[in-house]
Amino acid sequence: MQAMYDVIVIGSGPGGSKAARLAGEMGKKVLLVEAEALGGTCTNKGCIPTKSLLHGAKLYRQVKGGESFGIVARDSSYDLAVAHRAADDVVATLRDGVALEEKTAHVEVLAGKAECLDASHVFVSGTVYETQKLIIATGSVSSVPPIPGVRQGTGVGTSDDALRLETLPKKVVIIGGGVIGIEFASYFSMLDCTVDVVEMLPEILPMMDGDVARQMRRALAPVTFHLGCTVLSVEHGVLFRRPDGTETSLEADFVLLATGRRPNYAGLEHLSLEKDRHGIVVDENMRTSIPNVWAIGDCNGRSQLAHSAATMAEVAVDDAFGSGRKKVNWRAVPWVVYSNPEAAGCGLTEAQAKAAGLSVHVASVLARFSGRTLVEEGKRAPGLVKMICDDRGTILGVHLMGPYVSEMVWGCAAAIKDNRTVNDILETVFPHPSVSEVLKECAKKLSEER
């Protein structure tokens, strides 16, 4: 039996590693247990390696599209092995970064599978560790749907497999049009693969405003989208049923299962945690149904985003060791799709705002209204900004598509958090020439139309 910990954190993804660090910085005795690689899915198999590959693919496209700017590059090609090495390198660097940060915060890090014996005893590699409090941050795993052929097939896999491909497939079929599906669709398409996306819902990217999602599909051409379709099997190509009942089959060298992720409950079997279909049930302070046990990140199913997990970590640690007053303002959590073009947003979609019974005002402006977009992407540049406000002008949602929107959206998140109005955006001075200027133009349109 080891000395008593103030808190044991299970899982070292963006949520767990942050929770451990915050508690460590408060002087608590902290044990962070990780069954796989430090940094969790985000660092090792999610955000980071995909962003490295997407960045490379964007460069590859820019080389091809750079002719009009005077770039002469003959025989340009893409070396998948080198791209994967770049991704591996940055993953290793960031993993080391997590280790260093935990060390600096005096967090003990333990490699091994954690098995919770009860709310205060955790078994790892033959030893029982005792703790006052427990933070579960076990994340999620790719959800593999029960479609005939998904298990035995070579050439069928999840995003984990997509990151380990040895050769670039000529034809890719992606099952699922969520963030992971769309980022990989963009990735493979930038590399000249033929890409089909089969989505069960009537539209891709459900958190995205419908207008933006429609434009996104157009911008991702030549990717072909099959909406409202049910996949029947992936045994010989991908067989799916269309909304009109007809069946279609697509050949594929690689079928990507991007059908979502489900909470990871490994090692939690002995805890009588309340769960629902999303994950471990938590209250506003991230407390589970068991006293002194918190659950943050993907495992509670509230939001499968790295920065959501980190925000939940702040809330849980504040509840465990601080004021207990911190809450997640879910409306002010931004999201980004790192496709080409990028999309990002924060707050409600028009449909969500209307469904909530709010009196809604809406305006949108094309991204190519911005001089910078025009300079860099040309007259046909895709993209738009859509802004949604209520009767008082309070901003309810901002939805963006176009260059650099991933780096513009934090200001929208700040505005929504602070209940800022359309007029506040109008009074802001935007640098010229920048893509961000479109926000002001959209606010102007919105204030005129209101």
Residues 323-382 that bind a copy of itself (CB under 8 A): 329, 332-336, 344, 371-372, 374-376, 379
Structure tokens at 295: 């659950």
Is 432 a catalytic site residue?
yes
- Candidates 300, 311, 339, 364; binder of a copy of itself (CB under 8 A) is 311
- DSSP for 165-180 reads -SS--SEEEEE--SHH
Minimum distance from residue 438 beta carbon to a copy of itself (Å): 10
- Candidates 264, 411, 445, 446; binder of a copy of itself (CB under 8 A) is 411
* Residues in 208-247 that interact with a copy of itself by CB under 8 A: none
- Tell me the β-bridge partners of 293: 134
Short-list 222, 23, 231, CA closest to 131: 23
Nearer to a copy of itself, 78 or 123 (CB): 78
- Taking the alpha carbons at both ends of the chain, their separation in whole angstroms is 66
Structure tokens at 203: 């539209």
* x/- letters, 76..95, toward a copy of itself (CB under 8 A): xxxxxxxxx-x---x--xx-
The kind and range of the H/E element at 124 are: strand 121-124
Minimum distance from residue 62 beta carbon to a copy of itself (Å): 5
Q: Helices 405-417 and 437-449, interaxial angle, to 10°?
A: 50
165 counts as binding a copy of itself under rule CB under 8 A = no
Short-list 135, 220, 126, CA closest to 172: 220
Of the ranges 72-80, 157-165, 280-288, 293-301, which one interacts with a copy of itself (CB under 8 A)? 72-80
* Residues in 88-147 that interact with a copy of itself by CB under 8 A: 90, 93-94
- 289-272-292 Cα angle (round to 5): 45
Nearer to a copy of itself, 115 or 314 (CB): 314
414 counts as binding a copy of itself under rule CB under 8 A = yes
| DSSP 3-state of 322 | coil
Short-list 226, 212, 245, 146, CA closest to 181: 226
Strands 30-34 and 5-10: parallel
- Candidates 11, 14, 176, 177; binder of a copy of itself (CB under 8 A) is 14
- Candidates 248, 285, 289, 406; binder of a copy of itself (CB under 8 A) is 406
- Candidates 72, 126, 166, 277; binder of a copy of itself (CB under 8 A) is 72
Residue bearing tokens 């590399």: 191
Nearer to a copy of itself, 70 or 291 (CB): 70
415 counts as binding a copy of itself under rule CB under 8 A = yes
As annotated, the active-site residues are: 432
